[in-house]
Amino acid sequence: MIPCTSPTTATTADPVWGLTFNQYLEEAGLPFEAGRLRYPTLFRRPTVSVSLPIRVRESGQLLKFSLTLAGGVEVESVVIPMDSYRAASWRTLCVSTQAGCRMGCVFCATGRMGLVRNLSAAEIVAQLLAARTLLCERHGPPPGPYRFDLYDLRNLVFMGMGEPLDNFEAVAQAIRVLSDPRGIGFPRAKMTLSTVGHVPGLERLAALAREEAEWRKLRIAVSLHAADDELRRTLVPIARAMPLAELKRVLRAFPLPPRGRFLFQYVLLRGINDSLSHARALAQWCSELPCVVNLIPYNPQRPPLFDPPAEGVVLAFLQELRARGVFAKRRITHGAEVQAACGQLASEAAIGGAHRCPGVRRTPTQAPSGAI
């Protein structure tokens, strides 16, 4: 049985958490056998010494926590309970890769912060260790030998604060550390990297996947939100420099694994991108790519900048996609009441004021069964 250990109040992630086994051997100057015994102890106890989470909020089994890192930087992470229609249950950890974000997506609380700084690989890995510590405190020591999925934490998604591909080197290094079989051993097939469509980063990731098959196991999610450039530029400012044609070019050439699919994320905003004509345009754009579309009704921040669509509108949009041959799902919202849902993570002190976005044109919301 692995004992729980309470975290200390240090504010700096241990640099060794950013090292793979081979890097650790070289850095520590250890012989192979000594390193083989010591390296796992850096990760395999449910303990962390980053800092005590300065804010922990819970909603049922969902756990949102904020860590204070070097320089007083705050980042938020979420442990999300998941259930399938087959009655299986597990947990997913949503981690941050930056404090703030410079992509400026208008419906995202993190984007309203601007970029404070990139996280190091060690600070990204520390979020998993912190999550295990908190779960250990609540559920007791895990029984039996070490497994990567302690406390049924089986999936890791880079969908928290920040654009992962805007911090490419640190995120790639964190993935190497997290998946190192001599340490944490978290399979890359259980990780999902979410990007707003950062074309240079996707090209670099594709190059890694061509060089090393293990990188092809990493699942790729793309935040799309509109299927035409004019609208997408108002929602996702990076689209001004990286239009949809460029994004599609990179995705079509991306070396997916056999039967692999992209996950396209689409936040539905009332009267802006939720009409049936938007659904048809999305279906057309997706038709040349192996993909799953994940519909996400807008989760309001405080104060809200937009409105979520009515449930009937969400279902009509979903049905339109499916009728046109798109594999589409509706994401079930978790944690909105504690500002832990998609688009709600942010350091509250850094957001400042908010305003409705005048550059985004609203159209009347259609009746659920109507056609536009």
- Which is catalytic among the residues 74, 76, 163, 320? 76
From 4, 105, 108, 342, active-site residue:
342
The residues pairing with 223 across neighbouring beta strands, listed in sequence order, are 265
Measured between its terminal Cα atoms, the distance across the chain in Å is 60
Q: CA–CA separation, 80 vs 317, rounded Å? A: 26
In this structure, are residues 160 and 94 in contact, taking their beta carbons and an 8 Å threshold?
yes
Return left, alpha or beta for 353; rule: phi > 0 is left, psi -120 to 50 is alpha, else beta. Answer: beta
Say whether 357 is catalytic: no
| Coarse DSSP helix, strand, coil percentages of the chain, rounded to the nearest 5 percent | 40, 20, 45
- Any idea of the CA torsion for 102, 103, 108, 111, to the nearest 10 degrees? 10
Residue 294 tokens read as 């994940």
User: Residue 335 burial by CB count (10 A; 0-12/13-18/19+): exposed, middle or buried?
Assistant: buried
Question: Is residue 76 flagged as an active site residue?
Answer: yes
Token pair belonging to 339 = 């500002």
Amino acid at 49: S
Q: How far apart are CA 110 and CA 44, in angstroms?
A: 31
Q: DSSP code of 163?
A: -
Q: How far is it, in rounded angstroms, from Cα 132 to Cα 137?
A: 9
Helices (H) and strands (E) in the chain, counts: 11, 12
Reduce the DSSP state of residue 194 to 3 states and report it: strand
Alpha-carbon distance values, 304 to 112, 308, 344 (Å): 12, 10, 10
Query: Cα 99–46–116 angle (5° rounding)?
Result: 5
Hey, which residues are catalytic here? 76, 342
